[in-house]
Homo-oligomer: A and B are copies of this chain.
Amino acid sequence: MKNTGPDREFHVILCSVGRRSYLVRYFREALSGRGKVLATNCVPDAPGMIAADQAFLVPPAYEKGFVERLLDICQQHRPRLLFSLHDLEISVLSRHTEAFKRLGTFPVLASHGFCDTCMDKFATVGFAEEHGLHAGKTYLSVEDARAAIREKIISYPVVLKPRYGFGSIGLCEAHDEREMEMRFDLLRLEIARTTIAMANAKNEKKAILIQEKLRGTEYGLDVINDLRGDFVTCLIERKQGMRSGETDAAEIVEDEKLFALGKKLGEIAQHPGVLDVDVIVQDNIPHVLEMNPRFGGHYPFAHMAGADIPSALIAWAEGRQPEPSWLRAVPGIRCFKDISLIIT
C-alpha cells in the first residue's frame, strides 16, 4: 500500500478545484515540500487543475461512480486532508465521510444536515431565524410574496433567486407585481433547463425564492473551527465590489457584532475548517444572506492580510498548535482580485 507508515507524506486533495489556483498555491506553501497538492475537477481545463501537483478528472458529483472514483484516488494516494469547493459535491461527500476516514483521509466537511441547510437558501433562512439570527424575509410563491407586500411586511423591489443556486446564477430583481410574476415564471423555465436542475429536482414546485431586498454594507465572514469542530476565530472582510457573484475587492475589519455572529454560527455548525458566510448589515443589524461550508470567495482576502488557515489545518491534523499569527488577518488591509494569464 502506497504512502502509509511513519514516513507517510502529507498530501492534501482539493475536490472541484475549478478556478481556485490560489488555494492550490496556499496549500503548497503550507506543506513546503512535505507532500503534494492533489486536485480533482469534472472538466480538465481549469486553472486549479493546472496549478496542482497531480490533477484527476472525475465525474460530476451527481453522476454514478463519482464517490467510488474519489475513494479510488484516495486509496491510491492517501491524502491526509480532503476539501471540496463545490456545494453539490460537498452535499454528496458529507454522506460518505466514514469511507474516506477508513482510508486515512480526513474529509474536512460539515455534517450532511448542515451542508444541506447551506445548499438550500430557504433552509438557511429558517436556520437563522430558529437560532435568533436575522435573515431577509423570504417566500416560496408569488402568492405569499404578494400577501406580504399587501400587509406591508416587505416592499418592492424584491429579489428572486433559485433556492438551490450557486453564485449569482438567476439572481434578479422585480419592481412591481407584474415583473415579479414574469421573472418567477422565467426563472422556473430556466431552472428546469440548466444544470442546477438536478439539485432542485427534489422540490421542483418550490425551487424559487422571493426575498426582501436588504440594503447595507456587505461582509464576508470566514468562520474558522478546528478539525474537531470547535470554534477558533472569525475573520471579517468588508466587501467593496461584486462581479458575477464573487467578491472583487475587500478590506479586513474588526467588528464585535460580526465576530459574535460568526462565533455563534461556528458553535452551532460545529463544522471542521472554514464556513464562508455572506452577511449584509441593514439598520445596524447583521442579516445572514448565504452560508457555504467550505473555502469561499472571501478567504483569499484574509490570506493576503496574513491569515494562513491551510497551515493551521495541517497543524491540527498533526496534533500541533497553529501559530497564533496564522489565525489573524490584519485590519485595514485592502485587496483586489486581479486577472492574469497562465500558459497551459
Q: How many copies does the complex hold?
A: 2
* A50–B183 CA distance with the chains assembled, in angstroms: 39
Q: Which of A186, A341, A343 has the most CB of B within 10 A?
A: A341
Q: Out of B179, B244, B340, which one reaches A340, CB within 8 Å? A: B340
Inter-subunit contact B344/A21 (CB<8 Å): no
Q: Out of B22, B185, B341, which one reaches A337, CB within 8 Å? A: B341
From DSSP, what is the main secondary structure of chain A's interface residues?
mixed
* A249–B182 CA distance with the chains assembled, in angstroms: 35
* A183–B19 CA distance with the chains assembled, in angstroms: 31
* A47–B344 CA distance with the chains assembled, in angstroms: 24
Inter-subunit contact B241/A244 (CB<8 Å): no
Interface range for A: 35 or more
Stretch at the interface among A54-62, A208-216, A328-336: A328-336
Q: Out of B21, B189, B243, which one reaches A179, CB within 8 Å? A: B189
Residues of B within 8 A of A179 (CB): 186, 189
Residues of B within 8 A of A334 (CB): 343-344
Query: Is A155 an interface residue when CB atoms closer than 8 A count as contact?
Result: no
Inter-subunit contact A339/B338 (CB<8 Å): yes
Q: Which of A288-344 contact B (CB under 8 A)?
A: 300-301, 303-304, 333-344
